[in-house]
Amino acid sequence: MFPRRYDALALDLLDELSPEDVAAALSRRNDKQVAQYEVTVARRADLPGQVAEVTRLRDLAGYQAEWTATDGDALVLTENNCAIHRVAEHHPAVCAMELSLLQRVLGPEVEVTRLAHAMAGDPVCAYCIRPVAGDAHP
């Protein structure tokens, strides 16, 4: 019911840092998120289970996330809300960290590519997730 302006606080703090310090801070945040996600995602044996768990975590973080299977071996993770939109407007590197998070958590045997990007004008952010070509583990 009452507005929450956490983004203003984050922007004020980031604006006090040099570009190098912003990059380092975002990298440390990404490392922390990867570690947090890996704890629960690693418990899931198959790729659909891992993507379901990542989706649950993204949803809890405010992204209104959902996932679907496509024809073939690809899965699509869609984030219907950008929980960090205002920060990303001022610090686009945040978006690269989002993609890095998914790639790192799902591992080297999984390819993650961005299909849609809210900061580029798309209504959502969406990612195609599939086993690396030739990988025998779906």
Tell me the C-alpha distance between 102 and 80, whole Å: 16
CB 75 within 8 A of CB 65: no
- C-alpha 39: how far from its chain's center? 16
pLDDT at 3: 61
Instruction: Say if pTM beats, i.e. exceeds, 0.85.
Output: yes
pLDDT in tens, 11-32: 899 999 999 999 999 999 999 9
Length of the chain: 138
138 pLDDT band (50/70/90 cuts)? very low
6 pLDDT band (50/70/90 cuts)? confident
Tell me the C-alpha distance between 103 and 20, whole Å: 23
Q: For the chain, which domains are there? A: 6-131 (3.30.1380)
Residues above pLDDT 90, as percent of the chain: 71
For all residues of the chain together, what is the average pLDDT?
Answer: 91
pLDDT in tens, 77-116: 999 999 888 899 988 889 989 999 999 999 999 999 999 9
The secondary structure element, H or E, covering residue 77 is strand 75-79
pLDDT in tens, 106-123: 999 999 999 999 999 999
